[in-house]
Amino acid sequence: MSKEMQSRSQLLWGLIVIAVGVLFLTDIEIPPIGQLWRYWPFLAMAFGAVKLIPPTTPKHVLDGLCHIAFAGWFYMSFEHIWGLTFHNSWPILVIIAGICLVLQPVVIKYTANKEENQ
């Protein structure tokens, strides 16, 4: 694992530990574990956000945005937001995957050309 990835991972886990500590400190009523599992997409969003902070390469930015989009789709489908379910919204996931696949080489080529011109 590269030093950059290790620091990103450490940042994410540090933020998660801080959030858990704050939750326990605030003494709010925490729902049973069985109800908490439905919020796992927010953990996936956090992994995507870590790739955005700091944005070191265009690939990290794009990967982070794709992680966040996938987790957002999953959460919206799971909670039936705007009437979305897994059954009627799976094409959105295919579109997200396609956009991520198309944008990655475009962004990498654009930034490579931009760096060559400087």
Q: Could you tell me the CA-to-CA distances from 67 to 33, 51, 79, 113, 114 in Å, in that order? A: 24, 9, 18, 26, 26
Q: Is the distance from CB of 92 to CB of 73 less than 8 angstroms? A: yes
Query: Is the overall model pTM greater than 0.85, yes or no?
Result: no
Structure tokens at 114: 């931009």
CA dist 101 and 46 (Å) reads 21
- The pLDDT of 82-90, averaged and rounded, is 90
Q: Is the distance from CB of 65 to CB of 99 less than 8 angstroms? A: no
Tell me what pLDDT residue 22 has.
79
pLDDT at 116 over 70: no
CA dist 44 and 34 (Å) reads 18
Tell me what pLDDT residue 19 has.
79
46-83 residue pLDDT tens: 878 877 777 677 878 888 888 889 989 988 988 889 99
Q: Where are the domains of the chain?
A: 32-117
Tell me what pLDDT residue 118 has.
64
36-48 residue pLDDT tens: 667 778 878 887 8
| DSSP label of 25 | H
Tell me what pLDDT residue 14 has.
78
More confident residue, 68 or 1: 68
